């Protein structure tokens, strides 16, 4: 399974995927890593681990479409079977989704369809839900939406802050992403 990874930040989900491949728990090959943020720590890891890595900074393009055209150019060269969004904080256009229909995965730190968008963990705390978690899903044109592949539940404690909840959800995210990719492979 040829895998492309798109990320914007820390890259801990990317690291979990990398580690699972290294340990032989996931039969996949990461064929390229793309970030829209030059300072993304995940990008530094990608370089350190020797992956074909690309900074495609959205701020250097006049339109969303122009930025995506460059991302697609790099992706098309890498010929991935699947594209894993791993903390990639850009909304994809309809034509991007159509080009790779049912082959783009995303991870989100809530039990979708609850709490899409930013600060999902804080939204969960604010609503007082007792159970939250994470979701790996196929991407459609809408924000944090599309067919669900894997969910893992996390109990919300009375004394949780958004940060403490996020930390426990993140542990489950790393398992969930590998599980979803393993299913597909
Ligand atoms: C993760 O918690 C992921 O679920 C979230 O961003 C974080 C990225 O962490 N994604 C979203 O909120 C998407 N709407 P990472 O860079 O350490 O993988």
Strands 53-55 and 82-85: unpaired
Counting atoms of ligand 1 from 1, which one is nearest the CA of 166? 2
Q: Answer yes or no: 58 catalytic.
A: no
Topology adopted by domain 106-176: Rossmann fold (3.40.50)
**Average confidence (pLDDT) over 43-59:** 98
Best mutation site among 109, 121, 123, 150 for ligand 1, i.e. most ligand atoms within 8 A of its Cβ? 109
Average of per-residue pLDDT values in the chain: 97
Q: Give me the DSSP letters along 119-155.
A: -HHHHHHHHT-SEEEEEEEE--SSTT-S-EEEEEEEE
Counting atoms of ligand 1 from 1, which one is nearest the CA of 106? 13
* Cβ 56 under 6 angstroms from ligand 1: no
Q: Which entry of 18, 108, 137, 174 is annotated as an active-site residue?
A: 108
pLDDT of residue 107: 98
Tokens of 70: 């460059």
Instruction: List phi, psi (to 5°) of 108.
Output: -140, 140
* Residue 46, CA distances (Å) to 125, 131, 168, 176 in order: 33, 33, 24, 21
What is the domain partition of the chain in residue ranges? Answer: 1-100, 106-176
- Going from the Cα of 145 to the center of ligand 1, the distance in angstroms, rounded, reads 15
User: Residues with Cβ < 8 Å from 101, sequence gap 6 or more?
Assistant: none
Topology adopted by domain 1-100: Rossmann fold (3.40.50)
pLDDT of residue 173: 98
Exposure string for 111-132, b = 16+ CB within 10 A, e = fewer: bbebbeeeebbebbbeeeeeeb
Instruction: List phi, psi (to 5°) of 22.
Output: -60, -40
Counting atoms of ligand 1 from 1, which one is nearest the CA of 116? 14
| Matching fold, domains 1-100 and 106-176 | yes
- Going from the Cα of 148 to the center of ligand 1, the distance in angstroms, rounded, reads 16
- Going from the Cα of 66 to the center of ligand 1, the distance in angstroms, rounded, reads 24
pLDDT of residue 30: 98
Query: Using one digit for the tens of pLDDT, what is the confidence trace for 98-150?
Result: 999 999 999 999 999 999 999 999 999 999 999 999 999 999 999 899 999 99
Burial of 147 (0-12, 13-18, 19+ CB in 10 A): exposed
């Amino acid at each position: 399974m040829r895998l492309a990874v798109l990320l914007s930040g820390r890259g801990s989900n990317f690291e979990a995927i990398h580690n699972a491949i290294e340990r032989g728990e996931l039969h996949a090959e990461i064929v390229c890593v793309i970030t829209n943020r030059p300072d993304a720590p995940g990008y530094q890891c990608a370089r350190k681990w020797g992956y074909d890595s690309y900074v495609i900074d959205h701020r250097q393009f006049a339109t969303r479409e122009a930025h995506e055209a460059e991302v697609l150019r790099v992706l098309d060269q890498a010929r991935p079977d699947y594209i894993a969004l791993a903390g990639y904080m850009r909304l994809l256009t309809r034509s991007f989704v159509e080009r790779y229909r049912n082959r783009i995965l995303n991870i989100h730190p809530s039990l979708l369809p609850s709490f899409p968008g930013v600060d999902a963990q804080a939204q969960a705390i604010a609503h007082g839900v007792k159970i939250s978690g994470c979701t790996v899903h196929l991407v459609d044109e809408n924000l944090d939406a599309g067919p669900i592949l894997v969910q893992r539940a996390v109990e919300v404690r009375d004394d949780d802050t958004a940060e403490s909840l996020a930390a426990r959800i993140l542990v489950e995210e790393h398992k969930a992403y590998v599980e979803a990719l393993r299913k597909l492979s």
